[in-house]
Amino acid sequence: MTTTAEGRRSEILNVLRFERYLKVVDLSQRFGVSQMSIRRDLCQLEEQGILRRVHGGMVATPLLRLGIEINPEVVSQLQNHSNENEAIAQAAAALVQPGDHLIFDSGILSYLTACALPGDLLTQGDLTVITNSLLVALELAPWPGIEMIMLGGEYQADRMMKLTGPHTLRSLEGLHADKMFLTVEAIDIAHGVTISMNGDERLLAKRMIAACNCVVLLALGCKIGEVERHQILTPGEFQTLVTDQECPAKFVSHLRNQGANVIRVQPIQRKTLCP
């Protein structure tokens, strides 16, 4: 039986290459050590971006499961997101219902929302997911409760591993969703949701929005009041906004008075498990 911390971590990685989810209690019994020791192991592996801890256990990241080389810029975004990002993602994921048809764009908050979907939905939620994000597809496609529709197009490894271009637009035709999760680049009362990209990127965002019943905006508070060049959603079209405590209270009140649902989250407070 492996007893050293280094040996345990190595064996945990070997197991995770073939199993999607492992529980702390099972690993504790397997290695004959305390659950606290296992949590320390998981903390070390999570810091390396190899796995992601969830309640009671952990899941392997796409990098480990498929051995895909991820662009360093993308790795940096995935590893350096804040507790506010994760809190927004968890609140957004809680809006998903069994049987939903969902669109995820290629932004970091949309990806984290996909990661935050609860286990019962992943295993038996009968969800349909439409996305141009390879990261989202890698995260969700292995689960039995997910039907994955991956939009085709030109692959951009350095831009959150997304697909874009004319083929992406064509592959979206005829598709429909109940909810879309949209990572917000800039949002303002007067100008709505705006983005810096033009051309196919702007058209894709607008067509995704048009293809769903409800757009769930995912916005860090620092994005409130910013304006980019191209509008993709007018202020009157806001339906649901998930944001953090940095979002100005006046902005929240204005949207709620307009009938929008605004969810304002507290940052996740983490306990340090590593020595």
Domain ranges of the chain: 5-66, 72-265
Closest C-alpha among 177, 231, 164 to residue 204: 164
Confidence label for 68 from pLDDT (cuts 50, 70 and 90): low
pLDDT score, position 272: 43
23-55 per-position pLDDT tens digit:
888 888 888 898 888 888 888 877 766 676 666
pTM, two decimal places: 0.75
Please, which pLDDT band fits residue 274 given cuts at 50, 70 and 90?
Answer: very low
pLDDT at 177: 97
- The CA–CA distances, whole Å, from 133 to 10, 38, 105, 110 equal 30, 32, 7, 9
Level-2 CATH architecture, domain 72-265: 3-Layer(aba) Sandwich (3.40)
Q: Identify the CATH class of 5-66.
A: mainly alpha
Mapped onto helix, strand or coil, the DSSP state of residue 64 is: helix
